[in-house]
Amino acid sequence: MQDATTPAAGTPSGVTRLPGGPVPLTLRQSTVAAVLILLVGLGAALLAPFAAALEARRVTPPGSVTAGQAVVLPADGWVVQTQDTDAVLLTRGGARLIVQWQPGTPPEPQTALATLGAATQQEVPGARGFGGVRQFTTPSRDPGYLEAFAAPGTTGAIAVVQASFGQAAIQAIAPSTTFSQVSDDIVTMITGLRILRRAVS
Amino acid sequence: MSAAVGGAELPRRARGVAGLPEWFVSRQPILLAVLVLAVVAVPQTSLVIQRLVQSEPKAGPVTLIVWGLYAVPLLALILTVDYFEHEPWWLVALALVWGGLIATGLALSANSAVQSILTTTEGLSFTTQWGAAIAGPTDEELLKGLGVVVCALLASRRMRSPVDGFILGAVVGLGFQVVEDIVYTANVMATGADPWSALWEMFLLRGIMAGLWSHAVYTGLFGLGLGYALTRPDWPRGRQVLAVVAGFAAAWTLHFLWNSPLIVDSTDWRLIVVKGLPALLLLLALLQRAQRADSAVFLPALAAFADPMVASDAEIASLADRRSRQRARSQARATGGWRGAHAERRLQRAQADLAVAVSTGDGVGAAGAREELAQERYLLGHLPQHPPVFGRIAGTWSIVLGVGGLFVPVVGVLGVVVAIVGLLRARAAAAARRGASVSARLWIGLALGVVGVVLVAVAYSRTG
């Protein structure tokens, strides 16, 4: 047998042997390391419920606009044109976004979108949906449904965000020439909409 | 099978089998923690990939293949940094899986949660501007760094130099980078964009423009810091902690800078020059130093032979880092042609393998490396020698810059300068050596550079 200090055949003597094997760990040290790994890893995973809990505290973000129980965060450059208890109209360079709070148990998402689509047809004749319905979840963990539409000279989107006690109906309309400049804002404002769980004071 | 060979292999196998249970027992809690995190994270990442393939039956799989192939050369490049001792394949695979599936899965939900918290507390305007800069580095660097620590703890052999830490960090980062690229491409496709143009644009933006100074670099820096802390037992504890903290701070700061609107807020060449290149250059400078530290671990074993037939002092010095190894191969090529360069490369490899085998007490490995070394030494001695040719490397660079000059005039001017300086130096060197000549590449590079500059000048005068 050859010990750690004896050189192998054909190798020089006096060479310091590098320590081999894994990092020396006792079971106790390994357990502590495992707990720390879980703390960091699961801590990151638990940020999502923490964020939702923060939402549940009904914090309205700075700069937000409230329409009924719906909270909209206007993107940069969007101005509140009119606002009443249950609705708000935001505009920017010819584009407009209307959010209406409709209290009560909401209908099925398809029905809600169809109703909103019919209303949009009256305002924008010839509007046709494209790309299908995209489902999303808002920061307040409410399900939302969005559909883009286009008409001659006009492009936009309709969406609903539903909670058990009401829904926010959103209608965004923009001239086709400027839609590409505001489309990101519109999508951000729609998917970032929050629904409050208590009466606004 | 000879008795000698059987006798040499038997103790190695016995050690391996006997060592496994001890390793497994001491690492059980860590393995369990990894399993728990994998169960939490992997479904989140795989869900995104599943949706991509379902919604885009053609472009989805192509996206996975494109980004998968993109990772191959980068992985090969990362692994070549550790010249002396390669990491075990399973550890590299674990690092890739951690980065690509576990860290990404956990970061997906953590990032959106942090952005949501920022929006709630600071408003949309602040989050739009700073959300990615705060959430990205904080969540992602922490989760990727955790992967490096896990790999270091699970490794079947401890780190021997900071380079080992860099390898683990860069591989974790690469895994993360590739899967994040897939997720981002899937997100763009989900907005209704044309899937093929989405893939092309994302490949240009994230693969070409941002690919070389992204997650692999950031986490590589953290790994380097961790590597210094774990391979310097003589350092005081405070200095070891400082090395880890410095690695994390460097990774976080560079990631923050890249994501933030600070200094440059546009996606063009200024972003690369101001935010990308400095990160890569910082890493390369630190790596150069770390590679020398790596060499210092193994090369004393070669010096201990005190036998020029094993390795002369000049050969030992040339093994110190990538540049000096390259220089030695270029010299061998100048007199022995391609075969000389190949033989020199194999000689260096055999010397490095011998150094590792002797340093780690691997008698069988040492015997094999000595045999290989003797063969290459014999081959080098019998190669026909011809007079040296000077200026090959400068010539190659001037050609590359000359070709670039056909598209970017400044690069062409640079090519001309490199060619002229190379010509002057090569002629001076050739004059001092009988029979030596100047590489034709320098003339080709000079011609290409001049053509590029002239073409641009003509085009400019016509438009003007």
pLDDT score, position B8: 39
B119 min Cα distance to partner chain A (Å): 6
* Interstrand relation of B389-390 and A194-195 (parallel, antiparallel or unpaired): unpaired
The domain segmentation of chain A, as residue ranges, is 24-59, 65-195
B363 vs A9, A33, A40: nearest CB: A9
Chain B residues whose CB is inside 8 A of the A77 CB are none
SS3 call for A163: strand
Q: Do you know the residue count of chain A?
A: 201
Among candidate residues B108, B146, B173, B141, the one with its CA nearest the CA of residue B254: B141
DSSP-derived secondary structure letter, A16: P
B359 vs A18, A45, A63: nearest CB: A18
Amino acid identity for residue B209 in this structure: M
Is the pLDDT reported for residue A59 higher than 70? no
The answer to whether the Cβ–Cβ distance between A59 and B361 falls below 8 Å is no
The answer to whether the Cβ–Cβ distance between B304 and A12 falls below 8 Å is yes
Question: Which is more confidently placed, B124 or B308?
Answer: B308
Q: How many angstroms from the chain centroid is the CA of residue A177?
A: 27
Record the tokens describing residue A91, joined without a space.
């505009």
Phi then psi dihedrals of residue A146, to 5 deg: -130, 140
Query: Which tens digit of pLDDT belongs to each residue from B26-66?
Result: 889 999 999 999 999 999 899 989 989 988 889 999 999 99
Task: Give the A:B interface size as CB pairs under 8 Å.
Answer: 189
Record the tokens describing residue B269, joined without a space.
């060449």
B113 vs A20, A37, A48: nearest CB: A48
Contacts with B, A 37-66, CB within 8 Å: 37-38, 40-42, 44-45, 47-48, 50-51, 54-55, 59, 61-64
SS3 call for B76: helix
> Given CB atoms, is A122 within the 8 Å cutoff of chain B?
no
Q: How far apart are CA B21 and CA B33, in angstroms?
A: 18
Smallest CA–CA distance from A64 into chain B, residue = B123
Smallest CA–CA distance from B11 into chain A, residue = A1
Amino acid identity for residue B382 in this structure: H
Q: How many angstroms from the chain centroid is the CA of residue B196?
A: 29
The answer to whether the Cβ–Cβ distance between A44 and B149 falls below 8 Å is no
A187 min Cα distance to partner chain B (Å): 10
Is the pLDDT reported for residue A40 higher than 50? yes
pLDDT score, position A36: 95
Is the pLDDT reported for residue A77 higher than 50? yes
B11: pLDDT confidence band, cut at 50, 70 and 90?
very low
- CATH no., domain A65-195: 3.40.1000.10
pLDDT score, position B413: 86
Q: How far apart are CA B169 and CA B216, in angstroms?
A: 7
Query: Which tens digit of pLDDT belongs to each residue from B76-107?
Result: 999 988 888 888 899 999 999 999 999 999 99
CA distances from B171 to A146, B40, B86, B226 (A): 39, 22, 13, 14
Contacts with A, B 192-251, CB within 8 Å: 192, 230
Smallest CA–CA distance from B152 into chain A, residue = A23
Contacts with B, A 19-38, CB within 8 Å: 19-23, 25-27, 30-31, 33-35, 37-38
Cβ proximity of B220 and B173 under 8 Å: yes
Among candidate residues B374, B378, B367, B380, the one with its CA nearest the CA of residue B332: B380
A113: pLDDT confidence band, cut at 50, 70 and 90?
very high
Is the pLDDT reported for residue A170 higher than 50? yes
> Given CB atoms, is B94 within the 8 Å cutoff of chain A?
no
Among candidate residues B182, B78, B222, B117, the one with its CA nearest the CA of residue A50: B117
Q: Which of A32, A35, A40, A142 has the most B C-beta neighbours within 10 Å, making it the best mutation to test the interface with B?
A: A40
B160 vs A4, A18, A59: nearest CB: A18
Record the tokens describing residue B370, joined without a space.
């000595």
B366 vs A11, A19, A63: nearest CB: A11
The partner residues of A163 in beta bridges, in order of sequence, read A166
Chain B residues whose CB is inside 8 A of the A27 CB are 25-26, 28-29
* Interstrand relation of A194-195 and A166-175 (parallel, antiparallel or unpaired): unpaired
DSSP-derived secondary structure letter, A197: S
The answer to whether the Cβ–Cβ distance between A47 and B158 falls below 8 Å is no
The answer to whether the Cβ–Cβ distance between B149 and A37 falls below 8 Å is yes
Q: Could you tell me where the beta strands, DSSP code E, fall in chain A?
A: 65-67, 70-72, 79-83, 87-92, 95-103, 128-137, 143-151, 154-163, 166-175, 194-195
HEC string of B418-441 equals: HHHHHHHHHHHHHHCCCCCEECHH
CA distances from B61 to A89, A201, B52 (A): 43, 51, 8
pLDDT score, position B174: 95
Give me the mean pLDDT over the A4-30 stretch. 69
Cβ proximity of A162 and A176 under 8 Å: no
B116 min Cα distance to partner chain A (Å): 6
pLDDT score, position B16: 43
The answer to whether the Cβ–Cβ distance between A41 and B33 falls below 8 Å is yes
